[in-house]
Structure 1
Amino acid sequence: MKKFIFTFVLVLATLSASAQYRVDRLVTAGRSALFYEDFVLSIKYFNLAIGAKPYLYEPWYYRSVAKFNLDDYMGAESDASEAINLNPYINDIYDLRAICRIRQQRYDDAIADYNSAIRLEPRNRNYWFNRALCQMEAKNYDKAQLELDTVITKWKDYSNAYSLKAEVYLHQKDTVQAEKWLDQSLKLNPYDGDAWITRAYMALARKEWKVADEALTKSLHFKPNNVNSYINRALARININNLRGAMSDYDAAIDLDPHNFLAHYNRGLMRVQLGDDNRAITDFDFVIKMEPKNFMAIFNRALLHDKTGNLKAAIRDYTTVINQFPNFWTGLSARAHCYRRLGMTAKAELDEFRIFKAQMNKHLGIQPRWSAKTKKEMRKRSEIDPNKFASIVVDDEPKYEHNYKSEYRGRIQNRQVETAYLPMFQLSYFPNTQNVSGVQAFDKDVEALNQKMKDKVYIVCSKEQLDENSSMKIFSLIDKLSAELSVAKDIEQKKAILMRRAIAHSVLRDFEAAISDFTYYLSLDDKNALAYWQRAVCQAEMDEFNKAQGKGVVNIHSAEADFSDAIRLNSNNAYIYYNRGNLHAGRNELSKAIDDYTIALKIDNRLAEAYYNRGIARAKSGNKQAGIQDLSKAGELGLYDAYSVIKRLNKAK
């Protein structure tokens, strides 16, 4: 009996350890998918982990992060709340829930979360700063000032606190104090783009256009992707008569945010002043498509149609505005002029008679016309006055893009967002929908594999996110293949199943499981280049993930050695050289990377991805001209993102 009980306990312990291991693997695979921004797939993994062990806080927490990145702030908040119920002693979860609540503009709730986070980690400067920022957003200006005083006492060199204090003083209409604190902020950190934006807003409010232009230029040097800064600098430049510079700023704003209302509207007005009428019509078409009842834009488009000779379109637009503003005599006069040019005298006389009656009425007087003075006038976006149809539009309130300081996103997605290399070529069960040439990548080993496999595989160079149906299909395939492998006796049959399952695991970003299957495969057949190639890709991806998590890179198998073995077995494969080039580029071994990309291009001179990555590597190694030539070739072959990189390189000093 004792022996039986001991055996039973041992089996239970083994099963428990196995279950724990499976949940750990699910969480690790989910975090890997999260790192590669495949948020739908990561949620699938965390769902499985939660289903297996709903009392663990980690799957709830990481699923919350995934939902946050999909802009599902309510769902993310709910999951974070569940994680807090399970483990109320993790300060990062309070931080995450606070950010979710901030996105929903529930600042008081976010403040409560930061209170809890600060109790757990009182030395975290970001929590104190974010709480003060929430107090300001909630219009608790006195509390915000007190909290910022505490932050400055604790961290005297923290320039962001000084600039935020200046912003709070601006809300309190105390510009003298605001300027004093802003000066201190810029003294501590003259490279703070946000502080220069605040300085610019103060200058714009005082109509100190040259000061605003200089401040925004400095801000854009440190924060080059801030759309509002380009729009505001354009406004300053119009007022110092730098029309070319203003137009360039509106172009840059639209490049960054193609749907920006202010940039399109004001660029349209600029084009009117510069005589570029047809392109001005295009801008106003866009604005009217966004806001079909924007009568100011409709009237401006009417004037342009009138000027370019499209009289029927002009009358149609004039009529739309006049129906809304029956006493808009400038519109009536313009429409009457169009009617006369079309020979519609009776209609023209009706409009002219309405104007004559208005002129006879001294209380109404004559409407002002478009003059040189009105070209520099401004109106707020919410202000609807047809007489200000030619005025540059500005926001009702200055727009501050506050950056809440949050640690958790940095740890999970600690990757560079600037000019980045394209990913490695790897196998997938799904074709690349964004293929450059429109033709699927080809390799003789992959073609031979497809002859033996039921499910066709493709060579892809993308990290596309899986949707719910796609991920379910692969999970089902893995279950089916695992069942087949458990009864397979023939070595060839085992190899085919292992290859298919390894690819399925890699598609689901479960790199550890994929590497395990490829390794098993290579123990049965060590002459297969495809297995070395794909194992190397999985190892490189896993190394990148581990490095981002702050872990040391644990090479189960050396990715570089595997790529070299794959090249030895298949030396005419451009994709493997390209991948090894990526490996070197990731280690900043630019010379080796360029050599591998060059060999890849000798094998396939139409491999746009290799031109693109070699262009970036050459630019980073200091050879900008050669880099631009490569990027230009990549663009010519259909990789159009290369042109925006060229634009960025040309702007860089």
Structure 2
Amino acid sequence: MLRIYILFILAGIAGTTHAQVDTVRASTLPPAQLAEKLYNSGVTKYNSKSYQAAIQDFDKALAARPDFAKAYYNRATTRYELKEYSQAVQDYDAAIRLEPTGHTSYFGRGQAREAMGQRAEAEQDYTKATDTKANFAPAWYYRGALRFEKGEYQAAKTDFDQALKADPNYAYAYHDRASAQRQLSNFTAAIQDYTKALTLQPDLLPALLNRAATRRRAGDLKGALADYNDYLTKKTDNAIAYSNRGSARYEAADYRGAAEDFSKAISLDASYAFAWNNRAAAYLKLEDYKKAAADAGKAISLNPQYAEAYLNRGHAREMIRDAAGACQDWRKAAELGLEAASSYAANSGCGSE
């Protein structure tokens, strides 16, 4: 019995030893192969938005292979999603050192720098991305957006042109080129681009709202109102949209409709001084002077430097025979730089205090 027992134990030991050898061999991959496996696992976790787990896999991949540019790039991208922008920039730096022609690394670093408020550095990165890959539409688009924000509208338009040359179906590039055209007073071209953006992406509602504003500036009140109506059937919680439609209705002499729209804007945002003042202007046209005075007063309480509100309240006070109050308001509007207020004050014999 003793002999059998010993043989049994030995057999067990032999079996255990064999299993351990297999296990060790299965996990002892060459560093490059192990890094690739961990990298692929990280990508899978990133795609499922398990960002912290993805970071851990990319860390391990880079420990196995420190010159793995793709792992640096993807760890940077993951850190960007986690809003760890400074660390993302460091990883993009490493990826660029290893692969200096990687346009997506320059682009990604530009986005991270832009998120950190480093706009000049971001613009340089977008430029480098376009230098390394001329048909990379996103880099042209993002550089154009930065230039638009700086007021460089012609340069921005040129960048959006290049983005659309690289990708003719880039709806956002059409939208932002339209906005640049609008700033350059090229209203017809702007309207065409907003329309193209909406054709490509019908749910791009800002394009509808901006096309309405452009049509209004071009004098097409009918077209503007149609766009505002269309927009407000799809999105009913935008105070600015109601206020803008109210302004278009005011210009079309629909003062009651304008007052209704300004009222809706106020109901959505009671701190919207512009809407209070505009409703005051509509009430002046409707000869409801007490309401006009009250609304202009509310606008002033929200913005004590609102010259037009003082002007409108002055008109309302004049009509309710508060001459002293009217003169006081017109003088204040003039003090704030509104030249027309000086004329009203002089014509009404206000004189000086």
Structure 2: which amino acid aligns with 1:95? V
Q: CA deviation at 1:155?
A: 2.1
Give yes or no for contact 1:89–1:120 (8 Å, CA) kept in 2: no
Report the counterpart of residue 16 of structure 2 in structure 1. none
Q: Distance between the aligned counterparts of 1:260 and 1:173, measured in 2?
A: 26
Aligned residue in 1 for 2:289: 349
Matched, 1:230 2:182: no
Question: CA distance change for structure 1 residues 204 and 257 in 2, over 3 Å: closer, same or farther?
Answer: same
* Residue 266 of structure 1, CA deviation: 0.9
Identify if the C-alpha distance between structure 1 residues 208 and 305 changes in structure 2 by more than 3 Å, giving closer, same or farther.
Answer: closer
Residue 256 of structure 2 is aligned to residue 317 of structure 1: no
Q: Check if 1:195 corresponds to 2:143.
A: no
1:237 and 1:243 in contact (8 A); partners too:
yes
| C-alpha distance in structure 1 between counterparts of 2:264 and 2:88, whole Å | 48
Residue type of the alignment partner of 1:203: R
Q: Return the letter of the residue paired with 2:246.
A: A
Query: In structure 2, what is the Cα distance between the partners aligned to 1:269 and 1:333?
Result: 20
Residues paired across the two proteins, number: 270
Q: Deviations over 1:551-599 (max 9, x none)?
A: xxxxxxxxxxxxxxxxxxxxxxxxxxxxxxxxxxxxxxxxxxxxxxxxx
User: Deviation of residue 117 (structure 1)?
Assistant: 6.5
- Partners of 1:223 and 1:288 lie apart in 2 by 31
More helix by share: 2
Residues 198-597 of structure 1 correspond to what in structure 2 (within 5 A)? 198-308=142-252, 312-323=256-267, 325=270, 328-337=276-285, 339-340=286-287, 348-354=288-294, 366-367=307-308
Select the structure with the greater relative contact order (CA < 8 A; seq sep ≥ 6): 1
Counterparts of 1:359 and 1:259, CA distance in 2: 34
Query: Per the alignment, do residues 124 and 296 of structure 1 end up closer, same or farther by CA in structure 2, a change over 3 Å counting?
Result: same
Identity %: 20
Q: Whole-Å Cα distance in 1 between the matches of residues 38 and 296 of structure 2?
A: 76
State yes or no: 1:151 paired with 2:91: no
Report the Cα offset of residue 189 of structure 1: 1.9
Aligned to 1:524: none
Alignment match, 2:45: 97
Give the superposed CA RMSD.
Answer: 3.6
TM-score computed with the length of structure 2 as normaliser: 0.64
How far residue 94 of structure 1 moved from its aligned partner, in angstroms, is 4.3
Alpha-carbon distance in 2 for matches of 1:298, 1:196: 34
CA pair 273-356 structure 1, distance change in 2 beyond 3 A: closer
Output one character per residue of 1:157-196: Cα deviation in whole Å (capped at 9) or x when no partner.
2122123223333334444544444443333222221221
Amino acid paired to 1:254: L
Matches within 5 A, 1:10-49: none
Cα distance in 2 between the residues matched to 1:356 and 1:143? 51
Maintained 8 Å contact 2:39/2:57: no
Which residue identity does 1:239 align to in structure 2? Q
Q: Relative to 1, partners in 2 of residues 1:91 and 1:131: Cα closer, same or farther, differing over 3 Å?
A: closer
Would you say the 8 A contact 2:178–2:191 is kept in 1?
yes
Q: Which amino acid aligns with 2:185?
A: N
- String of CA shifts for 1:277-307, please: whole Å, max 9, x gaps: 2222232223323432322211222233344
Q: 1:261-283 CA distances to partner (integer Å, 9 max, x unpaired)? A: 31111111111112222222232
Inter-partner Cα distance in structure 2 for 1:283 and 1:152:
46
Equivalents in 2 of 1:123, 1:274: separation in Å? 57
Listed one character per residue, the Cα deviations across residues 613-651 of structure 1 (whole Å, up to 9, x for unaligned) are xxxxxxxxxxxxxxxxxxxxxxxxxxxxxxxxxxxxxxx
Q: In the alignment, what sits opposite 1:142?
A: 86
Distance verdict in 2 for CA 1:349–1:188, change over 3 Å: closer
In the alignment, is the contact (CA less than 8 A) between 1:322 and 1:331 conserved in 2? no
Q: Structure 2: which amino acid aligns with 1:136? A: Y
Relative to structure 1, the CA distance from residue 117 to residue 330 in structure 2 (aligned partners, 3 Å threshold; closer, same or farther) is same
CA, structure 1 residues 282+190, in 2 after alignment: closer, same or farther (shift >3 Å)? same
Equivalent-residue separation in structure 1 for 2:73 and 2:188 (angstroms): 40
Q: Which ranges of structure 1 fall in alignment gaps of 5 or more residues? A: 1-87, 341-347, 370-653
* Secondary structure of residue in 2 paired with 1:367: helix
Residue 584 of structure 1: aligned partner:
none
Query: Normalising to structure 1: TM-score of the pair?
Result: 0.37
Q: Which amino acid aligns with 2:277?
A: W
